[in-house]
Amino acid sequence: MSALFSQITLPSFVDEQESSAIPSPPRLRMLRLSVTDLCNFRCRYCMSLMGVPHLQHGDLLSLEQLADLVWWLTACVGIERVRLTGGEPLVRHGIEHLIAQISTFPGIQEVSLTTNGSLLQQKVWALKAAGLKRVNISLDSLDKERFAAITRGGSLSSKICPRPWPGRHFKLMSRKRLRHSPWTARRQ
């Protein structure tokens, strides 16, 4: 681990005698970590027609710095689960290495990912091998035309691959609750 977070200590707001009378806040167990501001879709609810300004590469934390942050939060705060988000986290180069590193930290029980699913078919085996336990695929519509309109040209067929998670069935949900859909399957 680099020295980025090694010298940080948690502040003490009350002394030990007062702390016994004050109930402790609930322990934080989950960290949602945005690894990039980039996305390969141009969804209407996220981005204007003119686009949005992107952060410069130097303004983003490196993968090593992100791993250090997670390690520190795990050690000092007790984080047990990490969900990687973005933008679209699968466009961040080296995301598999970050997942592999985080999944080995003592105390980490689960590393998960929220994705638009467009790059999942290409990366699913590497993600699983790295230690990713769960994937949430954000899907705006099951209607191809509506999906293309919302994402400004995204393809629904690129999101749904025959085996999205090795060895598991999956349940596909849109923003509307689906009660009866040919796309849902029971998880083993």
Complete domains list, the chain, with CATH: 25-51+59-188 (3.20.20.70)
Rounded to an integer, the average pLDDT of 48-62 is 80
For residue 121, the model assigns a pLDDT of 85
b/e for 114-153, b at 16 or more Cβ within 10 A?
Answer: bbbbbbbeebbeebbebbbeebebbbbbbeeeebeebbee
pLDDT tens for each residue of 27-43: 789 999 999 988 888 88
pTM equals 0.72
For residues 74 and 121, the model is more confident at 74
54-68, 116-130, 136-150: least confident range = 136-150
pLDDT tens for each residue of 63-102: 999 999 999 999 988 999 999 998 899 999 999 999 999 9
As a whole number, the mean pLDDT across the chain is: 77
